[in-house]
């Protein structure tokens, strides 16, 4: 009897994550949907002007959406080569001693709070880049991409390294046996075998970059206009929510619009996470690991 009660107790608590996830979805829908009484979904998504405090207010999130994509794409250009490259180094070149030192360092890089990255970007990197590249403004999409890229690198690196380490030794040995050198084995055998694991790493890195808030809030510059170049100041979705929520009157149109942005943001990362989930499951099946 006692055993059964205990089992039920754990079962109920185990549903907490599901409850919170569903709770988040409900909250976002409930608080976000009312804005669509004012503007249509199409106007909201593809409207080119975001003037939430003007009279009449305009709620087109295209500039914010493009800013998020723009900045995350830039970050991917940095964190994919750096993260995957570092993972390959750890997996293929590093001696066990080196590895036992470098892996924790990568994890420490991952544990640095985003506000510290934001601060670093704002006071050190932005002025430096402004001088170096003669930019009109240091706080722009380019700087934000760079900082986000650095932030996402350890995420990509750790997951990709895990994926690489699961590739069975026999695969590599077979490749060496037919005369391939280490690089050929890496490119033609190990990387393809770990392919979906590496894509999981990249997708989760992207998801992290797109959802990152404080860094882009401090570094991206904040202008809610459609970005025309990498050196324009931009206002990604997360930054818009974080900076405007404080001023938006509770229950007003602006307030609901911000929740609707969060809903879009949530859906984007949700899709990314599901894709990553599928990719990693496929990977585990392919290598004969438990599902």
Partner 1 sequence: MKKDITQKIGFGFVSLCMFITIFFLFAIIYFISTRGIKVISWEFLTQAPRNAMTQGGVAPAIVGTFYLTLCAILFAFPLGIACAIYLCEYSPKNYVVNLIRVSINNLAGVPSVVFGLFGLTVFVKFFGFGVSILSGSLSLGILILPIIISAAQEALLAVPQSLREASVALGATKWQTIKKIVFPAALPGILTGVILSIGRVAGETAPILFTAAAFYLRGYPKSIFQEVMALPYHIYALMTEGTHPKEQSAIAYGCCLILLFLVLLVSGIAIFIRQRQRSYYHG
Among the candidate windows 51-59, 69-77, 102-110, 165-173, which touches partner 1 by CB under 8 A? 102-110
Query: Judged by CB, which is closer to partner 1: 193, or 265?
Result: 265
73 touching partner 1, by CB under 8 A: no
Rounded least distance, CB 141 to partner 1, Å: 18
Helix (H, G, I), strand (E, B) or coil at 85: helix
266 touching partner 1, by CB under 8 A: yes
Rounded to whole angstroms, the Cα distance separating 227 from 234 reads 6
Among 38, 47, 119, 282, binds partner 1 (CB under 8 A): 119
DSSP single-letter state for residue 58:
E
Helix (H, G, I), strand (E, B) or coil at 261: helix
- Residue 149's Cβ-side half-sphere holds a number of Cα atoms within 13 Å equal to 19
Rounded least distance, CB 58 to partner 1, Å: 22
Rounded least distance, CB 153 to partner 1, Å: 5
Query: Judged by CB, which is closer to partner 1: 15, or 48?
Result: 15
Query: Judged by CB, which is closer to partner 1: 111, or 229?
Result: 111
Which helix (H) or strand (E) segment is 22 a member of? helix 16-32
Site string (223-262) toward partner 1, x via CB under 8 A: ---------------x--xx--xx---x-------xx--x
275 touching partner 1, by CB under 8 A: no
CB burial of residue 229 (10 Å; 0-12, 13-18, 19+): exposed
Q: Tell me the two tokens of residue 95.
A: 């001696």
CB atoms within 10 A of CB 48: 13
Rounded least distance, CB 290 to partner 1, Å: 11
Residues 192-211 within binding reach of partner 1 (CB under 8 A): 204, 207-208, 210-211
Rounded least distance, CB 151 to partner 1, Å: 9
Helix (H, G, I), strand (E, B) or coil at 233: coil
Cβ atoms 116, 147 nearer than 8 A: no
């Amino acid at each position: 009897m006692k055993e059964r009660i205990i089992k039920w107790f754990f079962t109920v608590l185990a549903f907490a994550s599901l409850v919170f996830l569903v709770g988040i979805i409900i909250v976002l829908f409930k608080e976000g949907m009312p804005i669509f009484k004012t503007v249509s979904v199409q106007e909201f998504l593809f409207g080119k002007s975001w003037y939430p405090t003007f009279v009449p207010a305009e709620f087109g999130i295209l500039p914010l959406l493009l800013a998020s994509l723009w900045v995350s794409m830039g970050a991917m250009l940095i964190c994919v080569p750096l993260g995957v490259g570092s993972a390959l180094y750890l997996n293929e070149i590093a001696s066990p001693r080196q590895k036992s030192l470098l892996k924790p360092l990568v994890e420490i890089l991952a544990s640095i709070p985003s506000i510290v990255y934001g601060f670093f970007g704002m006071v050190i990197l932005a002025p430096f880049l402004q001088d170096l590249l003669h930019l009109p403004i240091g706080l722009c999409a380019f700087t934000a991409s760079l900082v986000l890229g650095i932030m996402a690198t350890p995420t990509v690196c750790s997951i990709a390294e895990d994926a690489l380490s699961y590739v069975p030794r026999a695969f590599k040995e077979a490749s060496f046996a037919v005369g391939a050198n280490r690089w050929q084995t890496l490119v033609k055998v190990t990387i393809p075998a770990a392919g979906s694991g590496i894509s999981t790493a990249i997708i989760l890195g992207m998801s992290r970059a797109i959802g990152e808030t404080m860094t882009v809030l401090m570094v991206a510059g904040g202008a809610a206009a459609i970005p025309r170049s990498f050196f324009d100041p931009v206002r990604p979705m997360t930054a818009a929510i974080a900076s405007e929520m404080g001023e938006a009157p509770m229950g007003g149109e602006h307030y609901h619009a911000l929740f609707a942005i969060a809903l879009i943001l949530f859906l984007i990362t949700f899709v990314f996470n599901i894709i990553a989930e599928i990719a990693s499951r496929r990977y585990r099946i392919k290598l004969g690991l438990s599902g």
